[in-house]
Amino acid sequence: MPVEPVAVRLASMTFQSSFFIRCRKTSQAGATPVMSYYIQHVQTSAEFRSTSLSEINAWMTEQNALYFNRIAENSESETENDAAEDSQ
């Protein structure tokens, strides 16, 4: 039985990634309040801190790409292992 390519199998998979986000508003007397953000990628425990939402967005996009690539590599190696076992 032929094994379908990884790209085909991944295309039909549901990909989910979760983040824990904590936002904190700090201010000093007479100063403009500053928002600070702490974010953690739940699946990998990677962490990031910033005061910029654009930096947070870029980091989240990068973490999603890294996580997706890791899943694709693992699926590919599992497929290769399954194929090797089937041929024996």
- What DSSP string describes 23-37? EEEE--TTSPPEEEE
Q: DSSP secondary-structure letter at 19?
A: E
* Mean pLDDT of all residues in 14-30: 85
> Global pTM?
0.64
- Tracing tokens 């801190």 back to the chain, one arrives at 49
pLDDT of residue 14: 65
- Tracing tokens 């790209």 back to the chain, one arrives at 7
pLDDT of residue 68: 87
Q: Write the pLDDT tens digit of every residue in 23-60.
A: 999 887 778 888 999 999 998 999 999 999 999 999 99
pLDDT of residue 72: 81
CB atoms within 10 A of CB 41: 20
pLDDT of residue 84: 55
Work out the mean pLDDT of the chain and round it to a whole number.
80
Report percent pLDDT > 90 for the chain: 40
Tokens of 20: 């824990």
3-state secondary structure of 88: coil
pLDDT of residue 82: 54
